[in-house]
Amino acid sequence: MSAEADQVDGGRRHFLLVATSAVGAVGAVATAVPFLASWRPSARAKALGGPVEADISKLQVGELMKVEWRGQAIYVVRRSEAMIAKLASNKANLRDPDSAESDQPDFAKNEARALKPEYLVLVGVCTHLGCAPLGKFEPGDATVAADWPGGFYCPCHGSKFDLAGRVFKDVPAPLNLTVPPYSFGPNNTLIIGVATGAA
Ligand code: FES
């Protein structure tokens, strides 16, 4: 039997799972990074850690959605053209700009680290000691740094990642955030756990 649930994370490190049949969003629309998620793992798929399917039709530009896969949070960000264009300017400040040492499917070994540049899909686990990085997408976010280009910030020990999940130099995290295997299905679905049949 299929089950649907929304996963809501107010930006903190814990997850609150709320059983519901609708896709939900939490957070102030204009200022905070809202979170919304839905997934439809079968009971068997969940037990085996198999692929999960997420409806991304309601994900707006600049939003972060979290989907649970294999007991970990998968971050899905719908990036704007400006977010994508800015990635090139980060290169000199990154530890592994070409993702040579980091973990991702072959299709994500590019600057956007994505199958479709518009959608960034990452394992939401810091490569230092496993905390959950926060989405800090606003350039110049004072809670990170005045020259912050936008990306992810890990509050545990201060690791910083750009909007492709690439780690900046001089932080404790050694590698870029992992890109899981994924593909796109029909009707605006994202299938996490399967890299084949990608659209
Ligand atoms: S766990 Fe993220 S910086 Fe240490």
Q: What is the 3-state secondary structure (H, E, C) of 162-177?
A: ECCCCEECCCCCCCCC
pLDDT digits (tens, 9 = 90+) for 45-78: 665 678 999 999 999 999 999 999 999 999 999 9
pLDDT digits (tens, 9 = 90+) for 12-51: 333 333 322 222 333 323 334 545 545 555 566 665 678 9
Nearest CA to ligand 1 atom 1: 129
Looking at the predicted structure, is the pLDDT value of residue 197 above 90? Answer: no
pLDDT digits (tens, 9 = 90+) for 146-182: 999 999 999 999 999 999 999 999 999 999 999 999 9
Ligand 1 pocket test: which of 72, 95, 126, 171 has the largest number of ligand atoms within 8 Å of its C-beta? 126
Cβ proximity of 40 and 11 under 8 Å: no
Planar angle of CA 114, 115, 121, nearest 5 degrees:
50
Q: What is the mean pLDDT of residues 127-140?
A: 97
Cβ proximity of 105 and 179 under 8 Å: yes
* Rg of the chain on CA atoms, in Å: 16
Instruction: Work out which ligand 1 atom sits closest to the CA atom of 126.
Output: 2
Distance, CA 161 to ligand 1 centroid (Å)?
11
Taking the model in full, what pTM does it have?
A: 0.79
Q: Give the CATH class of 5-192.
A: mainly beta
Cβ proximity of 125 and 132 under 8 Å: yes
Pairwise pLDDT comparison (175 vs 11), residue with the higher score: 175
Q: Indicate the domain borders of the chain.
A: 5-192
Distance, CA 189 to ligand 1 centroid (Å)?
31
Dihedrals φ, ψ of 189, to 5°?
-110, 145
Distance of CA 56 to the CA centre of its chain: 13
Binding pocket residue ranges, ligand 1, CB within 6 Å: 126, 128-131, 154, 156-159, 172-173
Cβ proximity of 1 and 46 under 8 Å: no
AA identity, residue 193 = G
Instruction: Work out which ligand 1 atom sits closest to the CA atom of 158.
Output: 3
Residue 49: the pLDDT is: 76
Distance, CA 129 to ligand 1 centroid (Å)?
5
Distance, CA 160 to ligand 1 centroid (Å)?
9
